[in-house]
A = this chain, B = another copy of it.
């Protein structure tokens, strides 16, 4: 069992190529003995974005704070606080901060996506570190 405030979880820089001004916190993961999925918080400063990329696992996202743009091959969609976003496996996606302040969102992924990564299914034109990304 774990009960912790979000800002007591270490904030790590996302250094993958194609990302700008992105940090994340691994709120719950296999290190807590979670058996199935990990819950992360992403923090994108104004002007920040994740890379436009794809992989063979899903994202389940909830927007905590701020505004952003979801980019897929179907175009761009604005999102706001308390929006819910589901991206299917194998679709290209990118999250951008569209506001003047911090964008924070939760993003849950299967633990197998990083403990048993299938690199051949990751298509990021700019990098190959899928587990530390959204």
Binding site for B on A (CB under 8 A): 1-7, 9, 27-28, 32-37, 39, 58, 60, 62, 64, 70, 72, 74, 77, 79-80, 82-89, 91, 93, 106, 108, 110
Contacts and interface: CB of A to CB of B under 8 A. Distances in A.
Nearest to A2: B86
B33 A84 contact: no
Give the number of copies in the complex: 2
A27 B108 contact: no
Contact of A34 (B33, B58, B72, B93): B58
Given A1-B91, A3-B77, A37 B84 contact: no
* Shortest beta-carbon contacts, A-B, top 7: A2-B86, A27-B84, A37-B37, A28-B86, A39-B60, A6-B82, A36-B110
Given A83-B6, A86-B32, A86-B34, A60 B1 contact: no
